[in-house]
Every structure is written in structure tokens, then in C-alpha cells.
Structure 1
Amino acid sequence: MDTLVTTSRCHRLPECQPRWSAVGAVALALMSPGPAQAQQIPVIAVDVGHTLAAPGATSARGRAEFEFNRELAGRVVAALERLGLRAELINADGRIESLQARPARAADADFLISIHHDSVSERYLTPWEWEGMPRDFSDLWAGHSLFVSRNNPDPDASLTCASAIGLRLQRAGFVPTDKNRIRRETADAQLAIHYYDNLVVLYRARQPAVLFEAGVIKHRDEELLLRDPDRQQRMAEEIATGVAACVTAGGIATAHRAD
């Protein structure tokens, strides 16, 4: 799997060094002694995509994307904290006032990840009925994907972190989707990383940032998987490990605080 990471990015990732696990690299990075140790622990902002008023896509069975996002984001925060990082949940109540407020609330973080779940264009949807209600679905695509912006203050670090997350997920058996290559330029086809240059939460961030699409909630089978607590937990742990490996071994926290 290491071949999925290009040489220019691979040297920054613990996954490319077979002697060390990503968790081990995190532990070593956080063991520096001294009274300033707490201030040196990376801070990760985890953004819950969408709001109660604008809940995003609707799943094949009628559930709002925001609810999916909030569940997974909460698990990512807990997984990051178990790795010894500091994590801040943004928009947990779904009442954040604007897109611009998301990166503003994450201003002091070292890395920002925005959690979303994917949909499909209306032309690909098929009507069906679920529990007596008219719904629609598309079983054409399933799988996760990641987005970065070249207008972010640190696009290289954003792409490095997206690669670390994508690699961890694939090693754990999660399969990405090629759906988004239809409308977004591809940064890494094998890891399903795409450029979304003008997305506010990415380009207005003050630190490296990634938007993560956990899966396609219009896909009837994948919707059920995305609601499974055990699977959510496994996905959250892999996301957290990828983020932790990136920010601690890649020097992102140090670089951000030096700005």
C-alpha cells in the first residue's frame, strides 16, 4: 500500500517507515518533557458539516446528512483524544451562523477536518418508497473521498494529511469512490483525493484543512453501513490515526504556531 503515496509526500508519513506504527509515532512526538508540553500538543478542529436549518443531503431512507456528520465527528474527536491530541468539535449543535464562521472558530487549531457524507446529482436518482414515504436513491456509487484546496494557506500540508487519512482508511479495508472525479480535478486517484479550491471551509482556514466525505448516503446498502456504530468507530479511529501521524510527524503544529 505504501506505493499509493508519491515519493514527494511519502517521506513525511510514518506509514512509509515499516519499523514504526502511526500510533507509536504519535506517542513519541508527544513525549517531549518540560512545562510547555501541553502547549505543544497539536490541536485538531473537527467540523460538523451542515446545520439544522440547512441539513445537507437526505439519505435514501430520509435521514439528514447533518445527523450522519455529527455522529462521525463526535467519534473522531474521541479517537483523537485517545491518541493524546487536543480536539475541538465545531458546530456540534448545528446552529453555526455561516460557512465563514467554521474556519474562524478553528483559528487556533493546527489542523481542520470537516466531516461530511456524500450524495449524487439529481439525474442519477431513482424513486422508491421506504416505510410508506416516497424517497429516492442511487446505488451507482459508494465509498469515501477527500478534498483539499490549493488556495489554502498550506496546500502541501493539506494534501499530505489527506494522503495520510486516505492511506489509513484503505489499509483498514475502507474502499474509496471514484464518483467525484466527474466534477472535481483529481489530486490522487488511488486515494480518492480531489481539489475543491473555492470551498470556504478549506480556503479560508488558517491552517492545513481537509474535507472528508465518509460515504454516499443515497446508496441504500452504504447508508446502512454508515449508520452502524461499530463501523463508524473503526472509520473514526483510522481518520484520527492518519491525522495524528500527519500533524505530529509532519511538523504541522510547529509550523502553524510559528506563523
Structure 2
Amino acid sequence: MRPSKPVLWAMLALCAGTAQAATIAVDVGHYLAAPGATSAYGETEFGYNLALAKVVAQRLRADGHVVLLIGAGGDMDSLRARPAMASGADLFISIHHDSVQERYLSTWTVAGKAQRYSDISHGYSVFVSKDNPRYTESLGCAEAVGSAMKRAGFAPNLHHVMNDAGEGYAVLDPDLAVYQSSLIVVKYATVPALLLEAGVIINRDEALAMKQPDTRRRVADAVASAMSCLTPE
């Protein structure tokens, strides 16, 4: 018989060696059969998400947090199942990398193959849902992550609020690139939840930067430093 979510988290906390650790679910955005955006160099967003999520999870564990890595196998095709797995956690974080609308894309050649790119957008953004039952806490953690990313030298991405971008997102904090959304994984979570678009991989420069180990480490450090937003029960 599989343990319930609260029992599972308790077991993980014991393995972490601390009863005071926060429990954090780190979700790898997308999956192998539907890998999300494609970078300016033809690489999948899922690959970027998985690599970054692993670094974030490792960094959080180093701080003593209990971490559940969701979707790392690449076979989780249910968006609602992802936040459901986080039941009992203190926070759900979905890791993603961004793109732009089709009409902004141009074509160039990489290693003899045509690829799509756009340099119009760059930087990070953070999304929360007002439909989340823990919205106030979600927003607090989203602002903490946005602030930490900005302090770490990452640029807030305001492309989502351009009048002609066709995005339809309401900006909650333009200085920190925090947005209101109806994205399923944050909307249907029963715990505080946010989605982090760490960078724009359709952007040629940023696609390369986001692959660098130092960049991933800086993102992970920023996320870890923002965990002071948590008040474990």
C-alpha cells in the first residue's frame, strides 16, 4: 500500500534528518512527448527544465529542505497530477523556460539546419493564480523569487505585458516580473504555488546563457534564498 501524501512528506523529512525542514515540490515543466518550447538552437525546453530543476532541487536539499522532484522521468503528461503530488508540501515550484508568439519568430541556420529564433524578449518571469486557495502565500513567495532573481543579476521579462504581444497576462509587480495567470499547475495546486520562467530560450544569447552551469547555479541560489517566504506549519 502506498503511503498518503502527509505520511510521504514525513518520511522524507526523517530522511533529510531535520523535523524543521520545509517541504518543497519542484516540478519539471513539460514532458518528453510534449517538450514545450524549442530553443534558438533546436533544443527542447523539457531538457532545459530538467537540468535546471535538478540543480534547484540539489541546492534546496543542501539547505536542509525536503524536496520532491516531480516529472523528472519525462512521462508525466497530466498537468493536474503534478500539483496533486505536492499535497502536503509547503510550496510547489514549476520550472520552465520561455518563448514568444509565433509572429515574432525569424529563421536562421544552425549547423546546417533551419531554426527559429527571436531576440525581442529576454529575462525571467514568475506566475501565480488568484484561483489558488493559498494565493496570498503564493504571491509572497513569487515576489520573493522575483526579487532574488533580480538581485542575482537576471532581468525581469516585461514582454508578457506588451500591448501587441497577445499574451493576456496581468502584471502584478512589473519591477519583479510577477504575473497573474490561469496556468493549470498553479491554479489547481492546494498549496502555495508559483511557476518560474527562468529565461527565454528562443533568444539566441539567452539560450546559450541558460545552459551554463554557473547560470543554473545562480538561479538555484536565488530560489533558495527566497525560501524565507515559507512558514512551515
Calculate the TM-score normalised by the size of structure 1. 0.80
CA distance in 2 between counterparts of 1:38 and 1:127 reads 52
Q: Which residue of 2 aligns with 1:201?
A: 185
Unmatched tracts of structure 1, length 5 or more: 1-36, 255-259
CA distance in 1 between counterparts of 2:134 and 2:84 reads 16
**Matching residue within 153, 176, 180 for 2:133:** 153
Q: Which residue of 2 aligns with 1:75?
A: 55
CA distance in 2 between counterparts of 1:223 and 1:41 reads 34
CA distance in 2 between counterparts of 1:203 and 1:173 reads 29
**Matching residue within 188, 192, 198 for 2:177:** 192
**Matching residue within 226, 229, 232 for 1:246:** 229
After the TM superposition, list the runs of 4 or more consecutive aligned residues in structure 1 that deviate by more than 4 angstroms.
none
Q: Which residue of 2 aligns with 1:230?
A: 214
CA distance in 2 between counterparts of 1:220 and 1:236 reads 22
Give the share of equivalent positions with the same residue, in percent: 46
CA distance in 1 between counterparts of 2:101 and 2:138 reads 27
Q: Which has the higher helix share?
A: 1
1:1-259 equivalence runs, <5 A: 38-182=18-162, 183=167, 184-196=169-181, 198-242=182-226, 244-247=227-230, 251=231, 253-254=232-233
Aligned partners of 1:118 and 1:216 also within 8 Å? yes
Aligned partners of 1:181 and 1:194 also within 8 Å? no
How many angstroms does 1:170 deviate by? 1.1
Give the count of matched residue pairs: 212
How many angstroms does 1:108 deviate by? 2.1
CA distance in 2 between counterparts of 1:226 and 1:158 reads 25
CA distance in 1 between counterparts of 2:80 and 2:135 reads 19
Unmatched tracts of structure 2, length 5 or more: 1-16
Q: Deviations over 1:188-247 (max 9, x none)?
A: 000000000x211011101000000011101000100001011111111111211x2111
CA distance in 2 between counterparts of 1:199 and 1:166 reads 18
CA distance in 1 between counterparts of 2:188 and 2:101 reads 26
